[in-house]
Each structure stands twice: as C-alpha cells, then as structure tokens.
C-alpha cells in the first residue's frame, strides 16, 4: 500500500492561484508523469506532495495516511531535484548516507545500505569522491542513490534529466525505467518534455494553468486527446489544429489532425498546398505546407521523398484519425 | 610601446605602496634595535650600537611581565569573540536570507544601524556597570561581538544567497532538523566567508585599542595594545622600547594576514559572482 491520493488540493501565492482544486489518484507501483507547459504548476504540485510547500486547501494522502501537515521527512518520500542538490562538501558516500546518519542508523547497516545503492547505480568506484569530481550523469545517479537508501514509498523527480545532453538523457531514461521495474515503487516524475512522458509513464497527467486537462495511458492520450490542449501537447511534431472557417467546414470548432495522419499526393486531395519548408530527419521528413484559406500544415512523410521546396501538393487527412474539439472554454 | 605602459604603471604603483607601507615598518624595526639615545632622535640614521636582544628582554620584563599577561588577555578576548561572531553572524545571516518575515525589515535596519551609528561610550559603561560586566573579560568579549556583528552578518548574508535553496530542501527531506541543517549542511559550505571573517575580525579585535581602553580598565586586564602606554609618560618616552613593543604587537596579526590574505579576498568577493 503505497499509493498516493490528492483530494481537492489548491495552492495560492497571495491572490495568484497556482493549483486549483486538483484531485488525483495514483496507484501503488505506478510511474506517473506530470507534463505541461512552463509555469503550469508541475513543480509546485510535486513540492506539495513532498511537503516542501504547504497546501492552501485539500489533503494529501500517502499510503492511505493523511500527511497534509507532516514534515517532508515523515512522509516516506524521496525527491530528486533538477539541480541534483548534492551536498558539495560531502563525499558521495556521505551524500548518499546523510539521511541515514541523521536517523542515527548504526554504522555497519548504513555502510551496507549505501554500498547496495551504489551497486545498483554503478557508483561503487566513486564513493569517496566529492560531487565536484563527477560528471553530470554520475551526479544524477548520486542524487537517485540518496533517494533509494531512504527506502521511500514514493519517489519524486523534478525534471531530473533536463541538465543532461541528449544521448545521456536517453540512457538515463532507460535506467530510470529499469529502476522502476526493479524497485517496484510509486514514482512521480515531472517533465515538460513530452518524449520523456510518452516513453516512461504508466500514466500521464497533463496539467495546464494549475488544473488537470487529462489523465491516462500514454497511447490513450495520443489516440484520444480529450481537449485541444492535450492534443497539441502530446505527440511530436505537434498536431495540426485548425480553427475558424476552415474547421467549421469540417464540422468542428477546432479540428485536429496529426502530421503523420495526412496523406500527400501530386494528383488530387482535399487541400491544395505549396511546400514552404522541408526538414529531413533521415527516416522521416517533415513538410511545412501553406494551404490557401487554411493556413500552415505540418506533415510527416517518408524520409526518401523527392519533394522539394515550392512544389505543389495535395494533402488529405485520414478520416479515421481526425479529432474534433469544442472551443476551449477557458 | 603597448606592453610597456602597464609595466611602468605597475612599477610606479609598487613604489608608492612600498613607501606607504614598508617604510613605516622599517622605521619601527630600526628604532627597535637602537639604544635609548639613538632612538630618541627619531630618524633613519643607522644605529651606532644595536641592542635588539636587550630591548626585547626589557620590554617583556617591564612591569612584572605585563606583556605576557596582555598577550594572554588579548588572545582570550580574540578567540572567544571571533567564535561567537562566526556562529551568531552565520545564523542571523542565514535566517535573514532564508526566512522572509515581517521582522526582517527591522532586523536589517538594526544591522545597518550597527554598522553606521558610532557606539556611545558613557551609556555603554553605565549599562555594563548595571549588569556587572564592567572591567571583566567576558564583558569585553560581548562588547567586541556586538560591535563587529553587523559587518560579519553582511558578509555572511551575501554569501548565503549563493547557496542553492535546493540544498536546504534536500536536507529537510533527508530528515534534518533546523539546527542539524545549519551545522551540518550550511555552515560547512560557508567556509570561505568564515575564513574571511575569522581573519578580518581577529586582526581587528586583537588590534583594538580604544574599546579595551574604555571598557576594560584595570592593571590585570591589560590587552596588548594598551601595553604601549608602558613606555610613554608625560616627561619622557623610551622610544626604543616603545617601538620594540609595537613590533612585538604587530607580528601576530601580520603573520595571520600574510598566510590568509588570498582567502580573505576570495571570501569577500565570493558572494558577488556565482562560481
Ligand atoms: N513563491 C511564489 N510566489 C508567487 N508565485 C509563484 C511562486 N512560486 C511559483 N509561483 C508561480 O506558480 C506557477 C507555477 O510554478 P511552477 O514552478 O510549479 O511551474 P512549473 O510547471 O514547474 O514550470 P517549469 O516547467 O518552468 O518548471 C508559476 O506561474 C509561478 O510564477
Ligand atoms: Mg518546475
């Protein structure tokens, strides 16, 4: 029993409401990712779960226990910060063992647990170094090690990979997923990178301006976005969202079609367009088309395509993959 | 030509500072090895007879080895005041920087006031007398702490601003209580400013002349700076002994300064740029 439940939590700084009446249930052992644009309140929500930020209202339950007013250290959570927040004056060993030493754990047990964590994270050779003498990825692992030794019910991550370069980020993504599988604990992960969200999550929570837009499995969000906001946020390149007359002609206030769900042909189709720009990624090519009366469309197509800038093309949305949304109320 | 100009400027600066700082010191040292007649002329003439050792013994033995007692008193005052200063100033700086509250305004004002407003001597003495701390070493220690606290707080606060808040939060999650957080995570990180504080304040307090003069009268309470009075009197001054005494009193701070001057500059500027 190490699930997590938020009941109508809210947070305001003075008159500014950052989190509004938010309720969320997270099952034990789940990997949940909070995504959303910058400033939507992801970090704030995570910090409220951690107890670093007070709730202005509502309750936080961890493992069935109300911890709304509990100290961060009494909540059975561990957090990994974006900046790693390693103690610069302590060796890796002391960094990982700091929480245990505060809890007056016997020396032998402490060493055993630190070494076990170090083994999981391949840090054994670095235990006596200072954080200064480690690479970014190693520091990241120390921060995770510090979380592991606490044996938390819930792991909290706040954009832990955003300071790493692309290759290392992909590697750490995999390592984190494996860690989750091995430890089998609840993890809550904040990111604004939708690739991280799609690849790692059991469940994605899309936040926008302090409210939940949609909660669901990655592929559910991709296939059936509930709102135009989610549709635009999940998937890369972004879904094409048409508004106004062009959308109404297709029977919706907002009409969405993903770039990979548009067929192009040189002979005939729904939209007549000219190619404005091409980005070749190797296996794919992304075309930016100008369509009269509709505007700009993004289309992904085969990487070997012989289309060049200025070509005239017809684009047709696949009917089974269309999305229709009412106007955004807010 | 282009390289020459900075070099010439550098040389001129060196010469100027040599004259300002080294010449007086040389003068002191020169007088300290002369005999009574030679030194009373107060000039740069080379001593006809050097009596370094004799002067040294005379100074140390003067008034029943008062200089040694003075060294002891000064050391006690310096060590305890500096320790108190470091701990209090770091704590105040930390709270001021990390816990915004409506009291901060007033505390900030008090800190600045402490820096700008010269202390009033007579009321202070009256207060010390009332609480029984006048003419006592621990009273003197408290005075030194109070007078120098503002400067230390400002140094600490600027530096604490560069310690990331994430560290505090990580420690809180690790289960650190406020005092543990301060002593085990924050204070060790403040080492550069702490060194600066220790050096600057210990030199200032060791060299303090006026405050012991006002607040710590009494034969048994002499501090090193006050021993300079031993060889001065209304009618005659034994310059060779006076200068030997000055030399002895100047040496400890000078050693501290020479060894730590690099750290002082580092600590002073550490708050300014993020490293
Ligand atoms: N102390 C504060 N006082 C007032 N407003 C704040 C405070 N802290 C955060 N906010 C506001 O709360 C909102 C949410 O901030 P938060 O840090 O949770 O965003 P985020 O989703 O984590 O963004 P990012 O992806 O950039 O990290 C922001 O609009 C921010 O301006
Ligand atoms: Mg954030």
**pLDDT score, position B272:** 47
Instruction: Compute the distance from residue B93 Cα to the ligand 2 centre, in Å.
Output: 27
For the Cβ of A16 lying below 6 angstroms from any atom of ligand 1, the answer is: yes
Nearest to A87 among B169, B180, B185 (CB): B185
Cβ of A146 within 8 Å of Cβ of B174? The answer is: yes
**pLDDT score, position B31:** 86
Instruction: Tell me the per-residue pLDDT of A209-252, one tens digit each, with 9 for 90 and over.
Output: 999 999 999 999 999 999 999 999 998 899 999 988 888 888 88
Chain B residues in contact with A102 by the CB 8 A cut-off are 174-176, 180
For the Cβ of A43 lying below 6 angstroms from any atom of ligand 1, the answer is: yes
Q: In sequence order, what are the beta bridge partners of B190? A: none
Number of domains within chain B: 1
- pLDDT at residue A328 above 80? no
Q: Predicted confidence band at A100 (pLDDT cuts at 50, 70, 90)?
A: very high
Residue B170, Cα to own-chain centre: how many angstroms? 36
Q: Predicted confidence band at A2 (pLDDT cuts at 50, 70, 90)?
A: confident
pLDDT in tens, chain B (275 residues): 667 888 899 999 999 988 898 888 888 888 888 888 888 878 888 877 778 888 888 888 888 888 899 999 999 999 999 999 999 999 999 999 998 889 999 999 999 999 999 888 999 999 999 999 999 999 999 999 999 999 999 999 988 998 899 999 999 999 999 999 999 999 999 988 898 899 889 999 999 999 999 998 888 888 888 888 877 776 677 888 888 888 888 888 888 888 887 777 776 665 444 33
Distance (Å) from the alpha carbon of B226 to chain A's nearest alpha carbon: 42
- Average the pLDDT over A288-310 and give the result: 91
Query: Is the pTM of the predicted complex or chain greater than 0.95?
Result: no
For A59, A184, A290, B152, the CA distances from B262, given in Å and listed in that order, are: 53, 52, 64, 18
CATH topology for A4-230?
Answer: Rossmann fold (3.40.50)
| B residues 142-201 closer than 8 Å to A (CB) | 164, 166-167, 169-176, 180, 184-185, 188-189, 191
Instruction: Compute the distance from residue A76 Cα to the ligand 1 centre, in Å.
Output: 25
Q: Distance from first CA to last CA of chain B, Å, rounded?
A: 36
Determine contact, residues A239/A257, Cβ cutoff 8 Å.
yes
ipTM of the complex as predicted: 0.84
In a domain, B61, yes or no: yes
User: Looking at ligand 1, which residue's alpha carbon is closest to its atom 9?
Assistant: A44
For the Cβ of A19 lying below 6 angstroms from any atom of ligand 1, the answer is: no
- pLDDT at residue A329 above 60? no
In a domain, B37, yes or no: no
Angstrom distance (rounded) from CA A50 to CA A72: 6
In a domain, B212, yes or no: yes
Q: Which ligand is nearest to the CA of A15?
A: 1
Instruction: Tell me the per-residue pLDDT of A125-155, one tens digit each, with 9 for 90 and over.
Output: 999 999 989 988 899 999 999 999 988 999 9
Distance (Å) from the alpha carbon of A195 to chain B's nearest alpha carbon: 26
Chain A residues in contact with B184 by the CB 8 A cut-off are 98
Nearest to B172 among A72, A83, A86 (CB): A72
Burial of B59 (0-12, 13-18, 19+ CB in 10 A): buried
Determine contact, residues A100/A149, Cβ cutoff 8 Å.
yes
In a domain, B186, yes or no: yes
Domain ranges of chain A: 4-230, 237-325
Instruction: Tell me the per-residue pLDDT of A15-53, one tens digit each, with 9 for 90 and over.
Output: 999 999 999 999 999 999 999 999 999 999 999 999 999
Chain A residues in contact with B180 by the CB 8 A cut-off are 102
**pLDDT score, position B273:** 44
Q: In sequence order, what are the beta bridge partners of A272? A: A314
Chain A residues in contact with B172 by the CB 8 A cut-off are 52, 71-73
| A residues 62-81 closer than 8 Å to B (CB) | 71-73, 77-79, 81
Classify the C-alpha dihedral A292-A295-A296-A299 as positive or negative.
Answer: negative
Other beta carbons less than 10 A from residue A316's beta carbon: 15
Q: Give B205-210's long-range contacts (Cβ < 8 A, gap of 24+).
A: B205/B77, B205/B78, B205/B81, B205/B82, B205/B144, B205/B148, B206/B74, B206/B78, B206/B252, B206/B253, B207/B253, B208/B144
In a domain, B72, yes or no: yes
**pLDDT score, position A166:** 87
Which CATH number is A237-325's, of 3.10.100.10, 3.40.50.300, 2.70.70.10, 2.40.50.140?
Answer: 2.40.50.140
Token couple for A170: 């992909």
Q: Does B123 touch chain A (CB under 8 A)?
A: no
User: Looking at ligand 1, which residue's alpha carbon is closest to its atom 25?
Assistant: A38
Q: Spell out the residues 6+ positions from residue A191 whose beta carbon is closer than 8 angstroms to its own.
A: A33, A34, A35, A159, A161, A162, A197
In a domain, B10, yes or no: no
**pLDDT score, position B3:** 76
**pLDDT score, position B270:** 57
Report the CATH number that the domain containing residue B129 is assigned in CATH: 1.10.3720.10
Query: In 3D, which of B225, B220, B187, B222 has the Cα closest to residue B203?
Result: B225
Chain A residues in contact with B171 by the CB 8 A cut-off are 87, 98
Pairing relationship of beta strands A254-257 and A31-35 according to DSSP bridges: unpaired
DSSP 3-state helix, strand, coil percentages of chain B (rounded to 5)? 80, 0, 20
Across all residues in chain A, what is the average pLDDT? 91
Classify the C-alpha dihedral B60-B61-B62-B66 as positive or negative.
Answer: positive
Higher pLDDT, A163 or B268: A163
Angstrom distance (rounded) from CA A190 to CA A186: 13
**pLDDT score, position A152:** 92
Mutate to test the pocket of ligand 1, among A40, A81, A160 (most ligand atoms within 8 A of CB): A40
Pairing relationship of beta strands A240-243 and A211-216 according to DSSP bridges: unpaired
Angstrom distance (rounded) from CA A76 to CA A223: 35
**pLDDT score, position A11:** 94
In a domain, B126, yes or no: yes
**pLDDT score, position B204:** 92
User: Looking at ligand 1, which residue's alpha carbon is closest to its atom 20?
Assistant: A39
Tell me the residue range of the domain where B246 lies.
52-274
Considering chain A, what percentage of its residues have pLDDT values greater than 70? 99
Q: Which ligand is nearest to the CA of A44?
A: 1
Instruction: Compute the distance from residue A191 Cα to the ligand 2 centre, in Å.
Output: 8
């Amino acid at each position: 029993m190490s699930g997590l439940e938020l009941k109508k939590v809210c947070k305001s700084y003075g008159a500014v409401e950052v989190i509004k009446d938010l309720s969320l249930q997270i099952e034990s052992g789940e990997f949940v990712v909070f995504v959303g644009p910058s400033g939507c309140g992801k970090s704030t929500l995570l910090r409220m779960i951690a107890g670093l930020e007070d709730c202005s209202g509502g309750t936080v339950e961890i493992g069935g226990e109300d911890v709304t007013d509990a100290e961060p250290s009494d909540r059975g959570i561990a957090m990994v910060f974006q900046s790693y927040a390693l103690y610069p004056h302590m060796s890796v060993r002391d960094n990982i063992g700091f929480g245990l030493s505060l809890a007056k754990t016997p020396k032998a047990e402490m060493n055993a647990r630190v070494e076990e964590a170090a083994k999981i994270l391949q840090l054994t050779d670095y235990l006596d170094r200072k954080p200064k003498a480690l690479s970014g990825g190693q520091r990241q692992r120390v921060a995770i090690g510090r979380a592991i030794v606490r044996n938390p019910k819930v792991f909290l991550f706040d954009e832990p990979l955003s300071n790493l370069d692309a290759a290392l980020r992909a590697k750490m993504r995999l390592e984190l997923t494996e860690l989750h599988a091995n430890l089998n604990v609840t993890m809550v992960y904040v990111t604004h990178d939708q690739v991280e969200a799609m690849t790692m999550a059991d469940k994605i929570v899309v936040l926008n301006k302090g409210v939940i837009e949609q909660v669901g499995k990655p592929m559910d969000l991709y296939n059936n976005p509930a709102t135009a906001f989610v549709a635009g946020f999940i998937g890369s390149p972004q879904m094409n969202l048409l508004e106004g007359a062009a959308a109404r002609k297709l029977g919706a206030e907002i009409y969405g079609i993903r770039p990979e769900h548009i067929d192009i042909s040189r002979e005939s189709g729904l939209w007549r367009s000219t190619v404005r720009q091409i980005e070749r990624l190797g296996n794919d090519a992304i075309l930016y088309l100008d369509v009269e009366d509709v505007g700009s469309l993004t289309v992904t197509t085969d990487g070997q395509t012989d289309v060049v800038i200025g070509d005239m093309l017809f684009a047709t949305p696949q009917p089974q993959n269309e999305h229709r949304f009412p106007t955004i109320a807010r | 030509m282009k390289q020459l100009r900075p070099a010439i400027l550098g040389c001129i600066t060196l010469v100027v500072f040599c004259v300002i700082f080294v010449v007086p010191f040389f003068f002191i040292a020169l007088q300290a090895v002369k005999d009574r007649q030679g030194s009373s002329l107060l000039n740069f003439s080379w001593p006809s007879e050097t009596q370094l050792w004799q002067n040294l013994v005379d100074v140390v033995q003067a008034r029943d080895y008062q200089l040694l007692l003075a060294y002891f008193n000064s050391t006690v005052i310096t060590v305890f005041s500096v320790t108190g200063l470091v701990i209090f100033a770091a704590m105040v700086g930390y709270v001021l920087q990390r816990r915004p509250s409506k009291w901060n305004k007033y505390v900030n004002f008090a800190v600045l006031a402490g820096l700008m407003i010269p202390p009033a001597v007579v009321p202070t003495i009256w207060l010390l007398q009332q609480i029984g701390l006048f003419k006592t070493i621990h009273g003197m220690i408290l005075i030194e702490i109070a007078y120098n606290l503002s400067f230390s707080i400002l140094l600490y606060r600027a530096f604490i601003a560069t310690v990331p808040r994430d560290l505090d939060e990580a420690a809180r999650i690790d289960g650190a209580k406020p005092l543990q957080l301060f002593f085990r995570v924050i204070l060790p990180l403040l080492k550069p400013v702490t060194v600066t504080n220790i050096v600057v304040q210990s030199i200032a307090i060791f060299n303090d002349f006026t405050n012991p003069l006002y607040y710590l009268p009494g034969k048994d309470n002499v501090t090193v700076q006050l021993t300079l009075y031993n060889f001065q009197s209304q009618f005659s001054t034994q310059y060779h002994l006076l200068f030997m005494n000055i030399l002895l009193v100047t040496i400890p701070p000078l050693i501290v300064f020479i060894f730590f001057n690099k750290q002082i500059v580092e600590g002073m500027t550490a708050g300014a740029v993020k490293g």
